Amino acid sequence: MSRLLVVSIGPASSVQDGGRPGSQRYGLTPSGAMDRLALAAANCLVGNELFAAGIEIGPFGASFTARDGAVRVAISGAPRNADVGGRSVALESSVTLKDGETLTLGFARGGAFSYLAIEGAIKGEAVFGSLAVNARAGLGSPYPRPLQAGDEFSVDAASGAPERRIELPKAAHGPIRVVLGPQDDEFDEANKALFLNSDWKISATSDRMGYRLEGPVIKHLHGHNIVSDGTVNGSIQLPGNGAPIVLMMDRGTSGGYPKIATVVTSDFGRFAQTSAGTPFRFKAISMAEAQDEARKFAKLLHSLPDRLRSTDTVALNIEALQDANVAGHAVNAVDAATWHGHAEP
């Protein structure tokens, strides 16, 4: 066995896996990775099950050191700088840390969460079938709280397998797609239009339980209290102040505010990766369209092993080519001093 030591890490970082589906009837929130595709891609790179436990790293930086042997890891998710001993490491790829080497990750750029998968996955005692951390409930393993410097994981020694990268489809852009309801009849047409046609921003006070949105006030038709009913990932509640809250992975299993819409499954990870303060809009689609997109997303997850490539394959880097002086010595046609050979007098 080897060890992976957390040297430094920012807030909003914890152990997450595929969560605890199927237990909401007991009042148990599902938890799990905010961006399931990114977690699955990182796990795929090191040969783990797609939703095995990994480290969800928040917007701030982190660093990890291999101890008592080599450790093979992979990184996916929000773009950020990564290096091992000053050697740059590409995202969506695996890398083996030699004993004593440190992987350093910078601040997220244009996203919120990155995922560090460890070959053989994180070890721990499952809590209701999962290692996923819900800090408010004190659930998760091996640390039922956000990670902090000094934490360490006992992990499998690196197998020595060739390093790989994964080719993911380009990130989608445009509005976050939603299905209206289930209580959209608690809002008139003008307020539903206001919800769909306005720019929104995620508040910096948001967390894994809910993303608070900043934008116009959405008014209710009949007040903001309803009989509590079930919620799902992406439920968009409207409390009395008219400011929407999008329920995330550590949400409650039921709620008593009207839900104007629900973020579709295929866009949930993209929404979770939206940086605080970045403007975005919602777009309503039909239930049939949402189901079709969910099937496409499931197909993408199943296709991940087929998207693996060896890092030995050299890809053409256009930016690097443009920066290189491939022409050799530069010549100015009107300056004889720059010509090759001897200039004529």
Cβ partners under 8 Å of residue 152, min gap 6? 3, 4, 5, 6, 67
Overall number of domains in the chain: 2
Q: Supply the pLDDT for residue 311.
A: 87
Residue 150 has pLDDT above 50, yes or no: yes
Is 158 part of a structural domain of the chain? yes
For residue range 265-323, list pLDDT tens digits in order: 999 999 999 999 999 999 999 999 999 999 999 999 999 999 999 987 444 454 445 55
Q: Answer for the pair 293, 266: CB distance below 8 angstroms, yes or no.
A: yes
Residues 123 and 190 occupy one common structural domain = no
What average pLDDT score do residues 317-341 get?
54
Average pLDDT on 218-238 reads: 95
CATH of the domain at 210: 2.40.100.10
- Residue 311 CA to residue 164 CA, distance in Å, equals 5
| Mean pLDDT, the chain, whole residue set | 92
**Predicted pLDDT at 336:** 57
Residue 148 pairs in a beta bridge with: none
Cβ 77 vs Cβ 35: under 8 Å = yes
Same-domain status, 198 and 281: yes
Does residue 83 sit within a domain?
Answer: yes
Last residue of a domain, one of 133, 163, 193: 163
Q: Coil, strand or helix: which one is 337?
A: helix
Residues 6+ apart with CB under 8 A from 4: 64, 65, 66, 67, 71, 73, 97, 118, 152, 153, 155
pLDDT tens column, 33-54? 999 999 999 999 999 999 999 9
pLDDT score of 310: 93
The answer to whether 179 touches 262, Cβ cutoff 8 Å, is: yes
Which tens digit of pLDDT belongs to each residue from 111-146? 999 999 999 999 999 999 999 999 999 999 999 999
- For residue 127, the cross-strand partners are 130
Looking at the structure, tell me whether residues 157 and 182 fall in a common domain. Answer: no
Q: Indicate whether 157 belongs to any domain.
A: yes
Q: Which residues touch 230 (CB under 8 Å, ≥6 apart)?
A: 24, 253, 254
Q: What is the pLDDT of residue 172?
A: 83
- Domain co-membership, 47 together with 145: yes
Mean pLDDT (whole number) for 150-178: 95
149 within a domain of the structure (yes/no): yes
Rounded-to-integer distance, Cα 79 and Cα 337, Å: 46
Examine residue 333 and state whether it is found in any structural domain, yes or no.
Answer: no
Higher-confidence residue of 213 and 345: namely 213
- Identify the domain containing residue 45 by its residue range: 2-163
Cis peptide before 175 (omega within 30 of 0): no
How is residue 134 annotated by DSSP?
B
Q: pLDDT by residue (tens digit) across 170-214?
A: 888 899 999 999 999 999 999 999 999 999 999 999 999 999 999
Asked whether the predicted pLDDT for residue 324 surpasses 60, the reply is: no
User: What's the pLDDT at 7?
Assistant: 98
- How confident is the model at residue 20, as a pLDDT? 95
- Same-domain check for residues 8 and 146: yes
pLDDT band at 110 (very low <50, low <70, confident <90, very high): confident
Residue 98 lies in a domain: yes
pLDDT at position 323, please? 54
